Amino acid sequence: MNQQELMDEADQYLFHVYNRLPVVFDHGEGMYLYDVSGKAYLDFAAGIGVSAFGYGDAEYEEALKAQMDKLLHVSNLYYHTGLADAAKAVCEVTEMDKVFFTNSGAEAIEGALKTAKKFGYLRDGHSGHEIIAMEHSFHGRTVGALSVTGTEHYREPFYPLMDGVKYAAFNDIESVKRQISGKTIAILVEPVQGEGGITPATEEFLSGLQILSEEYGLLLIFDEIQCGMGRTGEMFAWQEFGIRPDILTTAKALGGGVPVGAFAVTDRVAAGSLVPGDHGTTYGGNPLVLAAVSTSIRLMKERQIPEHVKELAPYLEQVLNGFAAKFDFVEGRRGKGFMQGLILSEDVPVGQVVSKALEYGLILLSAGGNVLRFLPPLIAQKRDIDAMHEILEDVLDSFA
């Protein structure tokens, strides 16, 4: 079947909850994906930040193939040989003490929320605690994760959601302070907002959150599902400032391509929250995905991926700043590391730019507030940025 026939057949059976772009990918190599006709596409989306090592990395793939030959699943009723290695690796890179493996980022958020609520219940002797989340945040599509997502149009069709959530303005510490009550148990924040528009938290804001958490006895939860695992030039974005959370969520690049997430906690939180029977998952932390986790973390360390991102990010920023200087409808750039956004004027809808870029052989994403989002695989080199520059300049010229 040709590409159109493959898309038509898929649409006969798929629940239409994605507006997929008109391409059928067949395989990938390095920084490129290839469709069924053999056309190459330079990937600056990385499967929404998942494919940290690009495509066809031999060492990563061999590790998964070896695990498939041994064992895929046993459930969490038992130990397996890769469990300790993966748990230790995650605790070391997150600088946390205990970890629970999930299947996705949304599930990691669900676990973090339950942990915070149980912590408050045991500490205070009652339920009904509140969470402070940020406006324009995004934490996932499940009911709990949606409840703490600070964009109304995501939430509105699904009310009533989880109660006890208040929203504060991102990067406004006084706004957060105004939301604190005697019921507050935790503050949830993305160190770099992703879907909300690629907006980094300031050091002053994160430091202020830490001070408020200590002053009012609150838990600080960092959602690093998108901005973690080397993407900002640190293994986790909070490490730039040394402002350690009580609970950390991670996913996306954690497994390099397989569906895995995690939430990690300090010893204090672990000792005063969830106990056997409070939480669980059938598939989470199975031998296959944990082989991917251990391999991903090892490769990031051995290949010095965060250092590479930190070294090359200024060049990527320079190229993106050049677009803002050249095109009137590009209003600016913001982001950190290999998590960048170009802010477009409303005259040029970002969805149209994403579609046109795909036609030209460049894969990009959008984000909230008409932002063109760049999440390249973390292996991207200067030549890949130059190739992106050349293609995107032609794309943007077509809108000028």
Q: List, for residues 315-329, the tens digit of each pLDDT value.
A: 999 999 999 999 999
Residue-averaged pLDDT of the chain: 97
Q: Please give the model's pTM, rounded to 2 decimal places.
A: 0.97
What confidence tier does 131 reach under pLDDT thresholds 50, 70, 90? very high
Total length of the chain: 400
Domain limits, the chain:
3-56+304-397, 71-302
Q: How much is the pLDDT for 132?
A: 98
Query: What is the SS3 assignment for 302?
Result: helix
Confidence (pLDDT) at 340: 98
Determine the pLDDT at residue 283.
Answer: 97
Query: For a pLDDT cut of 90, what percent of the chain falls above it?
Result: 99
Count CA atoms closer than 13 A to 393's CA, side-chain side.
Answer: 13
Q: Assign residue 97 a region: left if phi > 0, alpha if psi is -120 to 50, beta otherwise? A: alpha
Q: How far is CA 275 from CA 84, 217, 247, 264, 271, in A?
A: 19, 21, 16, 15, 9
* For residues 298-310, average pLDDT: 98
Spell out a b/e string for 372-392, using b for 16 or more CB atoms within 10 Å of the CB, else e: bbbbbbbbbeeebbebbeebb
Q: Which residue carries 């973690």 as its tokens?
A: 228
For the chain, the farthest-separated pair of C-alpha atoms sits apart, in whole angstroms, at 63
Average pLDDT rounded to a whole number, residues 115-137: 97
| Dihedral (CA of 115, 76, 99, 255) sign | negative
Q: For the segment 151-160, what is each residue's pLDDT rounded down to a tens digit? A: 999 999 999 9
The C-alpha atoms of residue 324 and residue 333 are separated, in whole angstroms, by 7
Helix ranges (H only) for the chain are: 3-13, 46-49, 58-70, 83-94, 105-124, 143-147, 152-155, 173-179, 203-216, 267-271, 287-302, 305-326, 350-359, 382-397
Residue given tokens 């406006």 in the structure block: 135
In this prediction, residue 50 carries a pLDDT of 98
Check whether 369 has a pLDDT greater than 90.
Answer: no
Average of per-residue pLDDT across 52-66: 98
Q: Give residue 209's pLDDT.
A: 98
Residues 342, 71: Cα–Cα separation, whole Å: 44
- Read off the pLDDT of each residue in 72-90 and give the average, rounded to a whole number: 97
Q: Does 261 score more than 90 pLDDT?
A: yes
| CA quadruple 228, 229, 234, 238: dihedral, nearest 10 | 30
**Fold entry, domain 3-56+304-397:** Aspartate Aminotransferase, domain 1 (3.90.1150)
Rounded to an integer, the average pLDDT of 342-351 is: 97
Per-residue pLDDT tens for 5-51? 999 999 999 999 999 999 999 999 999 999 999 999 999 999 999 99
Architecture of domain 71-302: 3-Layer(aba) Sandwich (3.40)
- Tell me how crowded residue 113 is: count the other CB atoms within 10 A of its CB: 27
188-227: string of b/e by CB count within 10 Å (b at 16+)? Answer: bbbbbbbbbbbbbbeeebbebbbebbeeeebbbbbbbbbb
Nearest residue to 168 (alpha-carbon basis) of 118, 208, 126, 214: 208
CA 203 centroid distance within chain: 20
Q: pLDDT band at 273, cuts 50/70/90? A: very high
Query: Is-contact 135 301, C-beta < 8 A?
Result: no
pLDDT of residue 103: 98
| DSSP 3-state of 331 | strand
